[in-house]
Structure 1
Amino acid sequence: MSSQKRLFVAATRQNDGKSTICLGLLQILKEKYPRIGFMKPVGQHYVEKEGYRVDEDVVLMRDVCRMSNNLKDMNPVTVARGFTERYIEEGGLEKYREMIKDSYERISRDKELVLIEGTGHAGVGAVFDLSNASVAKLLESKVLLISTGGIGRPIDEIVINKALFDQEGVEIVGVVINKVLPEKYEKIKRLTGMGLKRKGIKLVGVVPFQECLTYPTMEQIMEATGGKVLYGEQFLQKKVLNILVGAMEPYHALAHFASHSLIIVPGDREDIILAAIAGERVMGKNHEIAGMIFTGGLLPHKGVLKLIKESNFPILLSEDDTYTTAKKVHERRVKIRAKDEDKVKEAAELVKTFLNIDEIISQI
């Protein structure tokens, strides 16, 4: 295996913010190592891109950092529907191991450093013998482990994950505690640092929670709900800060309107629709609408539609009822995309400010 620096980034659980930390790391490390590579050996949430099924994080990293590597090399193994069942019945470990090694060799060619993103915690992928711990061992990489804010639970989970990496002979160079509430930042930084030190684990970063990274765009809302755009496609990049389900009388609804709200409302509730539009026009930015979803496949009267066409926000139509639509919105996954320029910059700034990059590099 080639001799450049490499770092494998894993998390203690889903939604620890691993991909955001990876995105920030890649941008900051690229300043120090212009010839940097990236790969995610095993991906789960894939998109169709350039004829391949590849993990969405790989597309993000390539587009943001303008990498020229083949997408399939950046994500050699994609766990699509039925993959696990086929593996249990048919096997194929050596084939997948060789795919990962061969892709790494091509990715790492002439590189100074390769950043490797794992999938979930140390044991994820064990069902098909490609856990994060075993893949990190395969690629002879040390690990940076990401956990989320708190004291007891994160330390418990870090120790459990460390045991799995230890079992494979993989070294953890440090731990990052992510999404720490600002009001608890200093306390958590001090106590987790002390607690981890007693376990022989280095704390190399504590990152405060940034609510702005959780805001979805209307385009992401559209994808989550399966809705179609009626009007305002040019406004789909508007961010949603608040969600209001319009199932009350208009005068009650007006009291709940907040800036950048997504309003989910049956298409025949013209009273709420008109109240929302009037509230925005009268009260201005304090009641700016991010978008509306008409539910039940219903449309308001054509006179109301004509008025809506003049609005500066997108209107979506969902065939689902209001409850189902709201549930889909609530359960959505918010992932950073290359076009989310403010979030991309924020990820880099967080890593630059709150991670000890020099310490991490010195350990790999």
Structure 2
Amino acid sequence: MTEQSIYIISTKKMAGKSVIATSLALKAKELGKRVGYFKPIGFGSTMNVEGKVTDEDVESIREILGLREEINLLCPIILEKDEFLDEFADVDSQKYVKMVMESYEAVSRDKDVMLIEGAGTLSTGSFLNLSVSKLAADFSSKILLVAKFEDDSVVDEIIQARDYLAGYNIQLFGVLLNRIPADRMLRANCIIKPYLEKHHIRVLGVIPEDRVLSSLTVREIYESVGGKVLAGEDGMDKIVQTFLVGAMTMESAIKYFRKASNKIVITGGDRTDLILAALETRSSAVILTGNLYPSVKILPRADELAIPIILVPYDTFTTLQLAQKIIGKIKPRDKKRIEIAKRLIEENVKWDDILN
């Protein structure tokens, strides 16, 4: 019988649920507990060695935690990112409810603690009668809400989530305010946290943004977007913290680019002026979209400055989406990021209240 079932949810994507789940699981293992992980609904983002589309986060967490269960048990339902209803249109949702419950029963067997990761938002899965509220009741889970703190509206999001769950007789166990910029930590602790507590919401953690966790290298982005490195290969390990889209005049671009450090500029290969501006303002890399090759004078300068020039076949929007989707993710072999994530939990979260 599982002693603890913790359902980690968010109101928005990219809140940091996977990192929180991984960190809490590692902490529980350190305490000598038998730990399991489950994600009822995932999004197809990678293809495994067997040629099956899987959720990349689940693959990573499975390896980090050394779990033996098959990936299709850890994450029984996979949705396409944007269009997924066709596959489920003529199927009784009870089939999927049964699949999820049987998978959960299998992976939770002989576990002391189960970490369950919700999909993108509270509503994901409702079309299959697999909403957070239903599953939390079925799993007898306590709900831990992870909220990325960007501004004061996070309070509205959290209160609304609490009230939504209460409508299904599900109590919100607590909240983690996550990925807080250094200059917002004081406000998070002195204004946001007390305000939530005044509304009888437990704040179990106030977690700062960590530069290493939120940064990427050019190489990691290249591995995500693919394409071809045309020049500047010596700079593939440079840090990237922001993405800028180049679609303006040369004068505006220089001002725009100078304000940002550790940046990747995404633009068309036919915009020689913007590419040169990106190089001269010491960008970390330049991604050229639409398979448009740049002027020959670009490549020697990129080699000289060790600024990678990466050519991709996609449009600007698709390229930006592919690049941003890996922000804040932890890979199994990335020991440094794994240790940082665990330390952030140990130092900023009441993990003993959550795990005991």
Q: Taking every aligned residue pair, what percent have the same amino acid on both sides? A: 27
Which residue does 2:25 correspond to in 1?
26
Unaligned stretches of 5+ residues in structure 2:
none
Higher CA-based Rg: 1
Distance change >3 Å, CA 313–CA 201, structure 1 → 2? same
Return the letter of the residue paired with 1:84.
Answer: L
Distance 2:229 2:350 in 1: 44
Q: In the alignment, which of 320, 324, 329 is matched to residue 329 of structure 1?
A: 320
Distance 1:121 1:242 in 2: 25
Contact kept? 1:228, 1:317, Cα under 8 Å: yes
**How far is 1:6 from its partner?**
1.6
**Deviations 1:157-191, CA, capped at 9 Å, x for gaps:** 22222233233333322111123343342343244
Unaligned stretches of 5+ residues in structure 1:
281-286
1:297 aligns with 2:292: yes
Contact kept? 1:294, 1:315, Cα under 8 Å: yes
Contact kept? 1:121, 1:161, Cα under 8 Å: no
Contact kept? 2:231, 2:299, Cα under 8 Å: no
Which residue does 2:99 correspond to in 1?
99
Return the letter of the residue paired with 2:329.
Answer: I
Structure 1 stretch displaced more, 324-333 or 13-22: 324-333
Which residue does 2:85 correspond to in 1?
84
Distance 2:91 2:306 in 1: 54
Return the letter of the residue paired with 1:159.
Answer: I
**How far is 1:129 from its partner?**
1.3
Task: Provide the TM-score with structure 2 as the length reference.
Answer: 0.81
**How far is 1:85 from its partner?**
4.0
Task: Map 1:274-353; keep pairs closer than 5 Å.
Answer: 287=282, 290-295=284-289, 297-301=292-296, 305=299, 312-319=306-313, 324-325=315-316, 328-329=319-320, 332-333=324-325, 334-338=327-331, 339-353=333-347
**How far is 1:351 from its partner?**
1.2
Q: In the alignment, which of 333, 351, 356 is matched to residue 357 of structure 1?
A: 351
Task: Map 1:143-292; keep pairs closer than 5 Å.
Answer: 143-149=143-149, 153-219=153-219, 221-222=221-222, 227-231=227-231, 236-243=236-243, 245=246, 248=250, 252=254, 256=258, 260-264=262-266, 267=269, 287=282, 290-292=284-286
Alignment RMSD, CA only? Answer: 3.6
SS in 1 for 2:9: strand
Contact kept? 2:149, 2:178, Cα under 8 Å: yes
**How far is 1:70 from its partner?**
1.1
Distance 1:82 1:31 in 2: 40
Q: Between Structure 1 and Structure 2, how many residues are aligned?
A: 348
Distance change >3 Å, CA 46–CA 92, structure 1 → 2? farther
**How far is 1:113 from its partner?**
1.1
Distance 1:56 1:90 in 2: 28
**How far is 1:357 from its partner?**
0.7
Distance change >3 Å, CA 308–CA 117, structure 1 → 2? same
**Deviations 1:17-36, CA, capped at 9 Å, x for gaps:** 22232232222222114521
Distance 1:237 1:116 in 2: 34
**Deviations 1:298-351, CA, capped at 9 Å, x for gaps:** 2433x764675576453311356xxx5378437832241405444333222211
Contact kept? 1:33, 1:112, Cα under 8 Å: no
Distance 2:124 2:257 in 1: 46
Distance change >3 Å, CA 127–CA 186, structure 1 → 2? same
**How far is 1:101 from its partner?**
1.7
Contact kept? 2:269, 2:293, Cα under 8 Å: yes
**How far is 1:361 from its partner?**
2.1
SS in 2 for 1:205: strand
Distance change >3 Å, CA 105–CA 49, structure 1 → 2? same
Distance change >3 Å, CA 259–CA 100, structure 1 → 2? same
Task: Provide the TM-score with structure 1 as the length reference.
Answer: 0.79
Return the letter of the residue paired with 1:115.
Answer: L
Which residue does 1:10 correspond to in 2?
9
Distance 1:311 1:145 in 2: 44
Which residue does 1:284 correspond to in 2?
none
**How far is 1:225 from its partner?**
5.4
SS in 2 for 1:90: coil
